[in-house]
Structure 1
Amino acid sequence: MSIETITKEDLEVFRLTLLNDIKKLIAAKPDERKEWLRCADVRNILKISTGTVQNLRISGKLKSHKVGGIHLYKLTDIESMIGGKFD
């Protein structure tokens, strides 16, 4: 069994390498588009009020899926409703 000595410089190099790897992981955001949106997200995308989102849902123009007490909306449903795609 061999014994290796780790110096302060070795630890500093390891720390810097680890920090750089973490920064790369944070910066590398894959597709930020969400598949499911909450009411606030829909309001921000369409620039409409909560009541308008509710009216679209009740009239059947915008399909929602209720999970617990939260209505969730598919981004693709919103895109097809207005005939466009969001980036």
Structure 2
Amino acid sequence: METTFQRTKTTGTVPTRDQIVTQGDLLELKEDMLQELKRIIKECVSGQPGKKWLKSAEVKKLLGISHGFLQSLRDSGVLPFTKIGGSIYYDYEDITFMMSTNKSA
């Protein structure tokens, strides 16, 4: 009895002993891992996240600020944001613009 290994990006199915992993599956895994590694390296070297939109937790970590301070930046209009459902997103370019305009000499 032979079963095939089906990999989905959302579930991350792990094969069992009786499943077969093809060379194609391994090549796809390799490409996925290389892309993710390149994104991480780019993020570390440039100091800039690999994505345009950041969630609140990512912004707090990036700037080293508390939830309350992030809330006050939103409330005062200093940091623009987009709210979709229950999640708040910030454009990385808006964050860098805010930091450069508020820089003191």
| Fold similarity call, TM over 0.5 | yes
1:76 and 2:93 equivalent? yes
The percent of aligned pairs where both chains have the same amino acid is: 34
Which structure has the larger Rg over C-alpha atoms? 1
More helix by share: 1
For structure 2, the residue ranges without an aligned partner over 5 or more in a row are 1-19, 40-48, 101-105
Post-superposition offset of 1:22: 1.9
Q: Does 1 or 2 have the higher relative contact order (CA < 8 Å, sep 6+)?
A: 1
For structure 1, the residue ranges without an aligned partner over 5 or more in a row are 1-11
How far apart, in 2, do the equivalents of 1:64 and 1:35 lie? 12
TM normalised by structure 1 equals 0.68
**What is aligned with 1:4?**
none
- What is the alpha-carbon root mean square deviation over aligned residues? 2.2
1:51 and 2:68 equivalent? yes
Number of equivalences: 71
Could you tell me which of 23, 26, 34 is aligned with 1:27? 34
Post-superposition offset of 1:16: 4.1
TM normalised by structure 2 equals 0.58
